[in-house]
Structure 1
Amino acid sequence: MSYAKVIVNLALDKDFDYLIPQALEGKLEVGSQVIVPFGSSERRGYVIAFAERPVHRGEIKPITSVCGDESKIPSSLIELGKWMADYYCCSQEQAVRSLLPGAVRRGMVKPKTVTYYELGDKAEYDKVTGNPRLHSQIRVLKLIEKHRRLTLPALEALAGTGRSVIASLLKKGALNAVAETVGRDPYEGVEILPSRPLELNDEQSSALKRITVMMNDTAKKSRVLLLYGVTGSGKTEVYLQAIAKAIEEDKEAIVLVPEISLTPQTVSRFRERFGDMVSVLHSGLSDGERFDEWGKVSSGKVKIAVGARSALFAPFRKLGLIIVDEEHEHSYKQDKAPRYHARDVAVMRGLMEKAVVVLGSATPSFESYHNAITGKFEIERLSKRADDCLMPEIRVIDLKLESAREGKTHYFSQTLVTAVRDRLARGEQSIIFLNRRGYARQMLCEHCGFIAECPDCSVPYTYHKKKQILSCHLCGEHIPAYPKCPDCSAEDIRYSGAGTERLESTAAELFKGAVIARMDSDTMNTHDDYEKVLNSFKKGDIDILIGTQMIAKGLHFPNVTLVGVINADLSLHMPDFRAPERTFQLLTQVAGRAGRGEIKGEVIIQTFSPFNPAITAAVENDYEGFYEEEMEIRGQLGYPPEKHLMTVYLKGPDTDKLSDFSSKIMESLKTFISEDIIVSPPSPAPIERIKGKYRYMIIFRGNKLRRLRNALRQLLYTSKIPADIEVYVDVDAVNMM
């Protein structure tokens, strides 16, 4: 007898032994989805290993059945899931669950079928067509004879007849109904014009050659390349030609983009080059589309998977290349268990499957750049824009001086207003960037000082004028906007701080006749909204595009010659050690949208901190100098990438209980904290309360955290944690708020 170790869909971090019945001998593999008896019911689970004898004592129940091949996870991904569970302090079940879409995992979605009607028995056909009184049936048969086969809707529309006529023909045998499985295409109806490889410049050719050598040399120790190229340097063309090389060697490729909003544009570039060899995997698809796209990858019908974070787990068996575009983006870090970073898991998957991993960015994360200059990763630089386009000229507007001169601070400085009007006169386009949505940051009563705050979170409500609501951007709750102060009934309410909605309103007043569009999470409600606006902008139907960070990266519009940054300070003064790095990245990325055509671009940055190192480095495009300056500070404080960082979060309704329990956790971990580990003891998080729950955090920094990490994982799944307290660990945390 042989046994299988199975994990079920419960966060127990425990596998269970099951007997493999004789009928299933030889039909199971690591990664097979099975139905098993569990307690008084049955559950779906995954085989993660086999054993000759069970570890658990007592009765060993047999596996009930095995599910179809479409839900099977490759054994290499099961191993990756085990590593994720260990490294990111989550259960095995949570890690394996993240490896495939819920639509596949739950087994609720079935293949889509379409019924076609074809001619049936020839003798019955002759009987019907020989009887002139059956004119409706004759019309149906003649239509099918002409078109060979038709669906029911098409047949009803063309014949102008009811279903009873078709049912009669089916009963006679003159018609046959044939059901066929068809794929759900998320890009059905989208016209794709094939593209050809472009001629590469010397730097691009060098990068492609390095990637090709790395793919061919499977014994090579370093299999990660940082492609550090300025905005507009042609990184995507290098990706495309590297994938072509992989396909020539009968290998497969994964392309990750940081957000769903980037996916349609990226997918178009890859489909134009590779046609039907491309599959798309992201959470914006319907369950049916995700089921079919996963199936195309799993069955080997496609060679390339493009998508956001979850596309990393595309079930390829001959993976040769993983590309992580905009690798510095923090949206690659998942904010719920397993709290993995897609960039780092991509590196691990590449190591396990001997695939090359290319990390691309104009503003590399400090972690990746540190790994490159210390020899852990290889590096290729693209120092100039493709097609010899010039880098944009960047000007800084000191809002303190502007305010002193004008007597108040305007959202659009006079310099920016003049620059936008100049572009409108020349028929060129402008992008205006502000990384805050809504109309105003807060509602303030000037009479009594009342500020409208979310009762469940430690933040003020944001005012949305069009909907006349006050909304909390942390928990999502909203209430009708107050017509007067709820405390003192005064009507002199002031809304302070601008968001993109107010900018749109102000721009409409300043730039009469201009066509203005806004892109933020308030206006982009559906999967198609993003594409519609970008297509209109691309065609020149929009003069000014206003938006948040979703317009700051990955977009290529040659007619954009001006980018205006309304307030560069928003992300600069956050209580997070990465705030300067994020500000530099955001400014550099949004500046890179300007001047991608024949006309040199201009960027106007408005700030109250014109001499801050992050802003001056972005203006001078001096990544290396900024990195060196920041690393001096991080080295002294022991922050990444100098050391690893791990945060323990505690959430609950009672702040005193959180404080007490966090102290108990610290006490239980004392023996696992070595001398080289820096500990920031339990304290309230910068955002102290979200959704009615208070938040505490403990921060550990060090280069040898494995023993402590294992102790924390053990604590999470074996210790008794109060029912009203949630504890989780964020390894390599990127959000310190």
Structure 2
Amino acid sequence: MTLDASQTTSLPYRIRVAVPVPLYDSFDYALTAEQYAIAQIGARVAVPFGRQKLVGIIVEKLAPDSALNPNFQIKFIHALLDQQPILEPIVLSLLTWAAQYYQFPIGEVMHSALPSLLRQGKPYDLLARVWRLLDLDAEAQLKRSEKQQQAYKILKLHPQGTAETILNLSGIDNNVLKALAKKGIARCDLETQDFRPEPVQLAQMPLTANADQKHAIQQILKALQRYQGFLLDGLTGSGKTEVYLQVMHQVLKQGKQVLVLVPEIGLTPQTISRFQSRFHGHIALLHSGLTENKRLQAWQAAQTGKASIILGTRSAILAPMANLGLIILDEEHDLSYKQQEGFRYHARDVALYRAALLRCPIILGSATPSIESYHLVAQAKLSCLQLNQRAGIASMPKMHVIDLTVARKQHGLSEQLLTEMRKRLAENEQVLLFLNRRGYAPVLLCENCAWQAQCPHCDANLTLHVQPYQHLHCHHCGTIQSMPQHCPKCQHQPLKPIGLGTAKIENVLQTLFSDVPIIRVDRDSTSKVGSWHKIHEQIHKSEASILLGTQMLAKGHHFPYVTLVAILDIDAGLLSVDFRAPERTAQLIIQVAGRSGRGEKKGEVYLQTYRPDHPLFQTLLKHDYRCFAQETLAQRQLAQLPPFRYAILLRAESRHQDYNQQFLSQMRDLLLQQAEENLITVWGPIPAAMERKAGRFQAHMVLLSHDRPRLHFYVRQWWPQLLKAKTADLRISIDVDPQELS
């Protein structure tokens, strides 16, 4: 029901609701006296919006004498969906700040903090699947299946039953449980969930900390009752995880929760294994690879306090938690922490703000900290704790540069590298080859007329893939084409694949090392549910094998049997126009190199390059990333680039590039008229590095200022004007503190 102005003047009961629509306001709704009495700030409510029925979050209960918003007609709500708040005040404050800081609609920001089922208006209380044994003497029946034996032993430890999600976290998949049920050994019951917090017990004694680790642990423990940001700057393999675990133990003993963020889903099996071996307690896993039901159950475990440890990727920083006492951001430098579409937040910066709201410590850990984090240390906003030696008896690997301009090669692999690989494999060790390019070949070329297979919708080449069949694939817009039999321009055949992708190198390795397992890790090989978990298990077997992969292999993994690492093609990172490219390249080299020699045997690293004299390599050969970072900070300061100036990136895309640039130019002039003189510097508008993508042209404009509050103040006034002025064909987005300018 809609009420006009004459009716609403006498209407005392109203609430303000954040609704998931691309508008920057929250909206007033009417409700009955009985509903008003039980309505809770932070609870969900079903409301009408135009012709839609949407689920919003109550952000305010309006006093009976509060003023009405004359721009909107008041409608009655459909229903209150929760009796209790599902977002506590701290999280509401965090999301409100994030919406304002990143210039994004508040309703959509709040929806991003909810699991999908709650966004749809489903009831909060879902039944949990609980497994229990029916036969306590069935072990003899399971001799043929190691997985079923493992599941049986876990279930035997929990005679009252255990949740399916906990079994899954222990590496038991549902097919194993169903097999036990089919044999009459176990059964599954649907039960009301118990959200009472579970006590945490130490399952394994801590390792002996070295001097650097002890100092770091002591400094962090001094800050447990207040806000303090720490940058844990430790060499690869220096034992950052042990520092996390020992600090976590003290926080958990106080009955508080710990949130641990990792950049990729692929890191969760390794991390959760470390946590489970150290602590007996409820661990909730939050990432996009979960089913909707499991994600909701994990979210509820965090929100109610049932889970003491919450392990998740980027979006977990937005989830509510009952009693959060410590935040850990592992691999804090990683670009994956920055959301690149829609609500473009940076999990690192949101985590720092959340820790400040909670007055709890936060640890940012990395072997290659971001330049921004080093700058925060220089400003005394973060305390730097250094780990300068590898844990245990492991030593740093020796690095070598192979000059590809003179080296003899076989299919992109130098003879020197192949010789070293054969030595390591003969000693039953593992070799890791890094190539940040999936597919078979990045270019399909006609040798007669130089025609190249290009995407019809993007300014990019189509990549040749040979699995599951030969086809061309655009990694930018997703276009797939069949493999041409001849050149469409001159009819010449055959066409020649140029360059190397992981699939092509895999074929080469299978020929050169036919008796050695080749384990490929990229987005193609890990696309199936559970595939990464199986690959992870295979890698951790102590036997000769070759690991081949993209950045998924570079991010914090502990591979104890890898003694030789080779980076096959690092030169592309030296050619980018983005000022952050050297930083990304340096981080990648150090991170990939750090996978070598983490066990008892010494490791070595080989860099294949056509630019062996590049200054970046000379610095990193000494494993001196910190020296590189300080040089980079000095260069950024001279050029007045971030973090010495604050940036906001505007992206415009339409079917016509002229219109993009004309519109952005008009909006630039409007902003400069409204802002204080010389406060804001504007770069552009200019075409994007990839000007055409998915059939639409893109242009960029960057706003820079030394004064972040004033920059945000003027952009906040200007952005709604820009949205009103654009036409339907034009898409625009705003990226505060952009991490990529492409």
TM-score normalised by structure 1 residue count:
0.87
In structure 1, the partner of 2:91 is: 77
Which deviations, in whole Å up to 9, do the C-alpha atoms of 1:264-287 show, x marking residues without a partner? 221222222223321000111000
Alpha carbons 1:30, 1:47 under 8 Å: kept: yes
In structure 1, the partner of 2:471 is: 469
Deviation at 1:115, TM superposition (A): 10
In structure 1, the partner of 2:557 is: 555
In structure 1, the partner of 2:487 is: 485
In structure 1, the partner of 2:255 is: 250
Alpha carbons 1:648, 1:699 under 8 Å: kept: yes
For 1:86 and 1:584, locate their aligned partners in 2 and report how far apart those are by CA, in whole Å: 33
Which deviations, in whole Å up to 9, do the C-alpha atoms of 1:566-593 show, x marking residues without a partner? 1121222111101111110000001000
Deviation at 1:565, TM superposition (A): 0.8
Cα gap change, 1:156/1:225 in structure 2, threshold over 3 Å: closer, same or farther? Answer: closer
Deviation at 1:353, TM superposition (A): 1.3
For 1:587 and 1:324, locate their aligned partners in 2 and report how far apart those are by CA, in whole Å: 21
Alpha carbons 2:39, 2:83 under 8 Å: kept: no
In structure 2, the partner of 1:545 is: 547
Cα gap change, 1:39/1:70 in structure 2, threshold over 3 Å: closer, same or farther? Answer: same
In structure 1, the partner of 2:431 is: 430
Match runs of 1:181-192 below 5 Å: 181=192
Deviation at 1:114, TM superposition (A): 6.1
Deviation at 1:445, TM superposition (A): 0.7
In structure 2, the partner of 1:43 is: 54
In structure 2, the partner of 1:134 is: none
For 1:621 and 1:26, locate their aligned partners in 2 and report how far apart those are by CA, in whole Å: 63
Return the letter of the residue paired with 1:267. I
Deviation at 1:59, TM superposition (A): 6.2
Cα gap change, 1:114/1:232 in structure 2, threshold over 3 Å: closer, same or farther? Answer: closer
- Does residue 321 (structure 1) correspond to residue 332 (structure 2)? The answer is no
* Equivalent position to 1:230, from 235, 240, 243: 235
For 2:303 and 2:336, locate their aligned partners in 1 and report how far apart those are by CA, in whole Å: 26
- Does residue 369 (structure 1) correspond to residue 374 (structure 2)? The answer is yes
For 1:234 and 1:183, locate their aligned partners in 2 and report how far apart those are by CA, in whole Å: 36
Secondary structure at the aligned position of 1:266 is classed as helix
Return the letter of the residue paired with 1:441. P
For 2:439 and 2:542, locate their aligned partners in 1 and report how far apart those are by CA, in whole Å: 26
Q: After alignment, is 354-363 or 499-508 more displaced?
A: 499-508
In structure 2, the partner of 1:189 is: none
For 1:490 and 1:89, locate their aligned partners in 2 and report how far apart those are by CA, in whole Å: 53
- Does residue 55 (structure 1) correspond to residue 68 (structure 2)? The answer is yes
* Equivalent position to 1:336, from 338, 341, 349: 341
Alpha carbons 2:574, 2:585 under 8 Å: kept: yes
* Equivalent position to 1:101, from 80, 92, 115: 115
Alpha carbons 1:71, 1:105 under 8 Å: kept: no
Alpha carbons 1:194, 1:272 under 8 Å: kept: yes
Cα gap change, 1:674/1:85 in structure 2, threshold over 3 Å: closer, same or farther? Answer: farther
Secondary structure at the aligned position of 1:440 is classed as coil
For 2:411 and 2:52, locate their aligned partners in 1 and report how far apart those are by CA, in whole Å: 65
Return the letter of the residue paired with 1:422. K
Cα gap change, 1:454/1:673 in structure 2, threshold over 3 Å: closer, same or farther? Answer: farther
Cα gap change, 1:383/1:16 in structure 2, threshold over 3 Å: closer, same or farther? Answer: same
Alpha carbons 2:429, 2:544 under 8 Å: kept: no
Alpha carbons 1:638, 1:678 under 8 Å: kept: no
Which deviations, in whole Å up to 9, do the C-alpha atoms of 1:662-695 show, x marking residues without a partner? 1111111112264153321200011111111111
For 2:83 and 2:556, locate their aligned partners in 1 and report how far apart those are by CA, in whole Å: 36
In structure 1, the partner of 2:395 is: 390
Deviation at 1:611, TM superposition (A): 2.3
In structure 2, the partner of 1:590 is: 592
- Does residue 417 (structure 1) correspond to residue 418 (structure 2)? The answer is yes
Match runs of 1:21-40 below 5 Å: 21-40=32-51
- Does residue 112 (structure 1) correspond to residue 113 (structure 2)? The answer is no
In structure 1, the partner of 2:646 is: 644
In structure 1, the partner of 2:573 is: 571
Secondary structure at the aligned position of 1:83 is classed as helix
Cα gap change, 1:663/1:308 in structure 2, threshold over 3 Å: closer, same or farther? Answer: same
Secondary structure at the aligned position of 2:395 is classed as coil
Deviation at 1:2, TM superposition (A): 4.7
Return the letter of the residue paired with 1:56. N
Secondary structure at the aligned position of 2:458 is classed as coil
Alpha carbons 1:553, 1:593 under 8 Å: kept: no
Secondary structure at the aligned position of 2:329 is classed as strand
For 2:507 and 2:180, locate their aligned partners in 1 and report how far apart those are by CA, in whole Å: 51
For 1:707 and 1:604, locate their aligned partners in 2 and report how far apart those are by CA, in whole Å: 48
- Does residue 288 (structure 1) correspond to residue 293 (structure 2)? The answer is yes
In structure 2, the partner of 1:456 is: 457
Secondary structure at the aligned position of 1:208 is classed as helix
Deviation at 1:154, TM superposition (A): 11
Secondary structure at the aligned position of 1:215 is classed as coil
For 2:61 and 2:599, locate their aligned partners in 1 and report how far apart those are by CA, in whole Å: 59
Secondary structure at the aligned position of 2:697 is classed as strand
In structure 1, the partner of 2:172 is: none
Deviation at 1:260, TM superposition (A): 1.3
Cα gap change, 1:241/1:527 in structure 2, threshold over 3 Å: closer, same or farther? Answer: farther
Secondary structure at the aligned position of 1:388 is classed as coil
In structure 2, the partner of 1:65 is: 79
Cα gap change, 1:412/1:34 in structure 2, threshold over 3 Å: closer, same or farther? Answer: same
Alpha carbons 2:257, 2:323 under 8 Å: kept: yes
In structure 1, the partner of 2:215 is: 206
In structure 2, the partner of 1:722 is: 727
Alpha carbons 2:440, 2:465 under 8 Å: kept: yes
For 2:434 and 2:183, locate their aligned partners in 1 and report how far apart those are by CA, in whole Å: 52
- Does residue 442 (structure 1) correspond to residue 443 (structure 2)? The answer is yes
Secondary structure at the aligned position of 2:354 is classed as helix
Q: After alignment, is 698-707 or 501-510 more displaced?
A: 698-707
Deviation at 1:427, TM superposition (A): 0.8
Q: After alignment, is 568-577 or 713-722 more displaced?
A: 713-722
For 1:59 and 1:631, locate their aligned partners in 2 and report how far apart those are by CA, in whole Å: 53
Deviation at 1:701, TM superposition (A): 2.1
Which deviations, in whole Å up to 9, do the C-alpha atoms of 1:96-138 show, x marking residues without a partner? 1222222222234772366999xxxxxxxxxxxxxxxxxxxxx
Alpha carbons 2:305, 2:323 under 8 Å: kept: no
- Does residue 520 (structure 1) correspond to residue 513 (structure 2)? The answer is no
For 1:385 and 1:610, locate their aligned partners in 2 and report how far apart those are by CA, in whole Å: 27
Alpha carbons 1:679, 1:701 under 8 Å: kept: yes
Alpha carbons 2:443, 2:463 under 8 Å: kept: yes
Deviation at 1:546, TM superposition (A): 0.4
For 1:233 and 1:179, locate their aligned partners in 2 and report how far apart those are by CA, in whole Å: 45
Match runs of 1:113-132 below 5 Å: none
For 1:722 and 1:210, locate their aligned partners in 2 and report how far apart those are by CA, in whole Å: 55
Deviation at 1:617, TM superposition (A): 2.1
Alpha carbons 1:89, 1:710 under 8 Å: kept: no
Q: Which runs of 5+ in 2 are unaligned?
A: 1-11, 133-158, 162-177, 196-200
* Equivalent position to 2:687, from 684, 706, 709: 684
TM-score normalised by structure 2 residue count:
0.86
Secondary structure at the aligned position of 2:621 is classed as helix
Alpha carbons 1:517, 1:542 under 8 Å: kept: no
Alpha carbons 1:394, 1:604 under 8 Å: kept: yes
Alpha carbons 1:438, 1:502 under 8 Å: kept: yes
Cα gap change, 1:179/1:331 in structure 2, threshold over 3 Å: closer, same or farther? Answer: closer
In structure 2, the partner of 1:675 is: 678
Cα gap change, 1:708/1:654 in structure 2, threshold over 3 Å: closer, same or farther? Answer: same
Match runs of 1:498-513 below 5 Å: 498-513=500-515
In structure 1, the partner of 2:265 is: 260
Alpha carbons 1:469, 1:479 under 8 Å: kept: yes
Deviation at 1:634, TM superposition (A): 1.6
How many residue pairs match? The answer is 678
Secondary structure at the aligned position of 2:321 is classed as coil
Calculate percent identity across the aligned residue pairs: 37
Return the letter of the residue paired with 2:455. C
Deviation at 1:157, TM superposition (A): 6.2
Which deviations, in whole Å up to 9, do the C-alpha atoms of 1:206-259 show, x marking residues without a partner? 11111111113x2x6xx1100000000110111111111111222211100001
Alpha carbons 1:436, 1:548 under 8 Å: kept: yes
Q: Which runs of 5+ in 1 are unaligned?
A: 118-146, 160-176, 185-191
Which structure's CA Rg is the greater one? 1
- Does residue 307 (structure 1) correspond to residue 312 (structure 2)? The answer is yes
